[in-house]
Chains A and B, each alone.
Chain A
Amino acid sequence: MSNLLTDDFEPSSAAAWKQKIQFELHGEDYKTLLTSTNEGITIKPFYHSDDFEKLEIPVPNEDFIFCKHILITSEEAASKTALNSIKQGIKSLKFIVKKEFDFETVFSKLLNKEVDFQFEFSFFSPIFISELAEKLKNETVYFNIDIIGNLAKTGNWYKSFHDDFKNLESIIQKYPTNYCIAVHVDLYQNAGANTVQQVAYAISHVNEYLLKFGGEIANKIQFDFAIGSNYFFEISKLRAFRYLFNLVLNEYNTKAEPKVFAQPSLRNKTLFGTDLNNLLRSKTECSSAVFGGANTISIESNNSFFTNPIELKENDLNSFILLKEDSAQNSVTDSYYIESITKQIAEKALEIFKEIEKGGGFLSQLKEGTIQRKIKENAQKEQQQFDCGELVIVGANKYINETDTLKPNLSKNPFKEKKSHKTLIIPIIPKRLTEKLEQKKWRNET
């Protein structure tokens, strides 16, 4: 800068700022201005260049793209929705696949359009995936197969440990250019893990694949993250993950630019309040994903019980497109606060990763139930914080509109207990913070 302001005013040190705050507190304790998080990180009232610290984060070179979810029920309808989305400028389509479908009908008009195809299968059929891969051989495809994630989510392998790994290996070998594997970190977030735990579990989870298939697989893995409400921690979480992933890859003598897929968390979404509330939360979470350097961002979560699912409208995109022009993933560089939180998350997550490895690795700790227990501990802590009003969800435990009813939002009772069946390990179950309150209200209304 020219001497516009430096001639007129004096800069202050971090110490001088703290002193000024203490003076103005009139004897009140400075500690009242600190915020402790469930990660064990303390947010300071201010960050200053005097205490600057950062990690060298490998940020992606490419801009983020937006993804639209398409549930395949009818092939014709799926194809039509996909075409419309492409026309609107969507660059990534995520197909939710519950059973095998006629891919000729779905994809015949969608080829060579420079669009990424993402898949989320609720089953694992190597034959079907092979045929699909043949059809889409000139496209960018993410099959998102996560046999470990499936074990964590359902408590069982698709078939068995041995068969699952064998089937996955055959697909990787046959289609080495596709992104076959996904690491579903979103499950851990939606079940209540904190940001440090999520990063640690992401690294531990992927390390099982690296161990099995070698470091060269690193560039063909997508990481699915769910983005929660703590704005700057979520930005930092994705950055800390990128750093640690490459730190671990060093040990495999390789490097990678991991693909990060981000979508809003379900944890804080609620039937209380308006749809607009949930949309605003989701938009904010997408904004964290943008700054955190996600590659593909979806504003839709797989949230089936809302009658009006969240969809991104064209004018919602505007603010994100403007961010893109600022090359958003780089705009975080040198921010005192974000860099400091990023470093702390990485530091703490690395410790957890080391402990998990020392304990035999992620699979072994899943089988023992250690990961499940740790997630549950944090989830319960958050639930208590919500229950006592320390953690706020507007419309649910603060600024409650007593005249609101849940019914207009719901077609049927979403709270029916799922039947439990025998599982190999304890499954990790997503849980929303307002569920308990909603159930209570639902019972009162019916």
Chain B
Amino acid sequence: MKRKDFSKLKITVQKEKDSYFEHEDFIAGVAPNLRGINSTMYLQTPLETKISSDSFTKENITPEIELSIFLNESLRAIEKGFEAKFTIDTIVSELSFETKIGENHFDEIAKMRAARMLWAKLIKQFNPKNQRSFALKINAIITTSFNALPAILGGCQQITSKDTEHLIFIEETGITKTIDPWAGATYLEKRTEEITDKSWLLFKKNSI
């Protein structure tokens, strides 16, 4: 066969997404902090890592139940703080979300994104003065090194682990070079929406 002339070959670029979700254009560093709590995330604020020899067991609960419990506990802590005459900004500066990372890759990433948005919604009703109060710090506890991957991809501030294996993700894989790298992906955005909605419903139901 004669060699073909490929010089005119061109790629066809598409500018439209197949899917679009209402929450997609919430960014990082602006409430509700979908994509992270700092506008530059890991590019300027390195991920903290902590070694702990505690044995962690992951309770077998769904992200929705875990988040609704977190919202409930946060609300109770806030109410207690108010009774002691603290301001909302003072109270929430002490609070963070500690979560154990499970095996379900995208659910874990979606859980952290949902947690930040739900937190911002919870806090908003108390009219905080400090914008940082809208930003939820997340401490991800991992029981296997591989789960550092969803923890970082979900945008946690701290990883607590038994060993230092997870340094490989931070140092070698380039995953911290851009913010919230899975954003826009239909599957992840859909799970983020589902987890957010359902967790809030559960929280409302339980707090009545």
**Also in contact, A43 and B145, with CB within 8 A (given A48-B25, A333-B185):** no
Could you tell me the dominant secondary structure of chain B's interface residues? loop
Q: Which residue of A54, A248, A361 is within 8 Å of B3 (Cβ)? A: A361
Interface residue B60 (Cβ < 8 Å from any Cβ of A): no
**A-contact bits for B154-168, CB 8 A (1 contact / 0 none):** 000000000011011
Q: Which residue of B13, B18, B29 is within 8 Å of A24 (Cβ)? A: B29
Q: Which residues of B contact A276 (CB under 8 A)?
A: 145, 165
B63 → chain A closest CB, angstroms: 14
Q: Which residues of B contact A214 (CB under 8 A)?
A: 1
Considering the complex, give the chain B residue whose CB is closest to the CB of A327: B187
Q: Which residue of B26, B175, B186 is within 8 Å of A5 (Cβ)? A: B26
**Once bound together, how far apart are the Cα atoms of A268 and B172, in whole Å?**
9
Q: Which residues of A contact B164 (CB under 8 A)?
A: 399
Seed contacts A5-B32, A21-B29, A337-B182; 13 additional CB < 8 Å A-B pairs: A3-B22, A4-B121, A11-B27, A17-B28, A17-B30, A33-B40, A47-B181, A48-B25, A231-B174, A332-B185, A334-B18, A337-B178, A394-B168
Which one of A280-288, A295-303, A365-373 is at the interface? Answer: A280-288
Interface residue A229 (Cβ < 8 Å from any Cβ of B): yes
Q: Which residues of B contact A330 (CB under 8 A)?
A: 187
Report whether A21 and B39 are in contact in the complex, using a CB–CB cutoff of 8 Å: yes
A112 → chain B closest CB, angstroms: 34
A375 → chain B closest CB, angstroms: 21
**Once bound together, how far apart are the Cα atoms of A338 and B17, in whole Å?**
13
Interface residue B55 (Cβ < 8 Å from any Cβ of A): no
**Also in contact, A281 and B11, with CB within 8 A (given A4-B197, A357-B6):** no
Question: What is the interface of chain A, defined by CB distance below 8 A to chain B?
Answer: 1-6, 8-9, 11-13, 16-17, 20-21, 24-25, 33, 35, 43-49, 52-56, 211-212, 214, 229-233, 243-244, 247-248, 251-252, 268, 276-277, 280-281, 283-284, 287, 318-319, 322-323, 326, 330-339, 343, 346-347, 350, 353-354, 357-358, 361, 392-394, 398-399
Supply 7 A–B pairs (Cβ within 8 Å), ascending by A: A1-B21, A1-B197, A56-B14, A232-B174, A251-B4, A251-B9, A284-B168
Interface residue B103 (Cβ < 8 Å from any Cβ of A): yes
Interface residue B173 (Cβ < 8 Å from any Cβ of A): yes
**Once bound together, how far apart are the Cα atoms of A332 and B106, in whole Å?**
11
Report whether B9 and A248 are in contact in the complex, using a CB–CB cutoff of 8 Å: yes
Q: Which residues of B contact A346 (CB under 8 A)?
A: 11
Considering the complex, give the chain A residue whose CB is closest to the CB of B20: A49
Report whether A56 and B12 are in contact in the complex, using a CB–CB cutoff of 8 Å: yes
**Once bound together, how far apart are the Cα atoms of A287 and B12, in whole Å?**
28
Report whether B197 and A49 are in contact in the complex, using a CB–CB cutoff of 8 Å: no
Q: Which residues of A contact B120 (CB under 8 A)?
A: 5, 8-9
State the total of A-B contacts with C-beta under 8 angstroms: 223
**Once bound together, how far apart are the Cα atoms of A415 and B16, in whole Å?**
52
**Also in contact, A331 and B196, with CB within 8 A (given A21-B39, A211-B1):** no
B192 → chain A closest CB, angstroms: 9
Interface residue B50 (Cβ < 8 Å from any Cβ of A): no
Report whether B25 and A49 are in contact in the complex, using a CB–CB cutoff of 8 Å: yes
Considering the complex, give the chain B residue whose CB is closest to the CB of A233: B174
B198 → chain A closest CB, angstroms: 11
**Also in contact, A49 and B181, with CB within 8 A (given A247-B9, A331-B106, A361-B3):** no
Q: Which residue of B15, B168, B200 is within 8 Å of A281 (Cβ)? A: B168
> Which chain B residues in 23-55 approach chain A with CB under 8 Å?
23-32, 35, 39-40, 43-44
**Also in contact, A231 and B175, with CB within 8 A (given A326-B105, A361-B3):** yes
> Which chain B residues in 90-107 approach chain A with CB under 8 Å?
103-106
**Once bound together, how far apart are the Cα atoms of A281 and B188, in whole Å?**
24
**Once bound together, how far apart are the Cα atoms of A230 and B172, in whole Å?**
7
Interface residue B57 (Cβ < 8 Å from any Cβ of A): no
Q: Which of A1, A24, A339 has the most CB of B within 10 A?
A: A1
Report whether B193 and A231 are in contact in the complex, using a CB–CB cutoff of 8 Å: no
B6 → chain A closest CB, angstroms: 5
Q: Which residues of B contact A319 (CB under 8 A)?
A: 103, 105, 146
Interface residue B140 (Cβ < 8 Å from any Cβ of A): no
Report whether A53 and B146 are in contact in the complex, using a CB–CB cutoff of 8 Å: no
Q: Which residues of B contact A55 (CB under 8 A)?
A: 11-14
Considering the complex, give the chain B residue whose CB is closest to the CB of A281: B168
Q: Which of A5, A53, A231 has the most CB of B within 10 A?
A: A5
**Once bound together, how far apart are the Cα atoms of A353 and B187, in whole Å?**
33
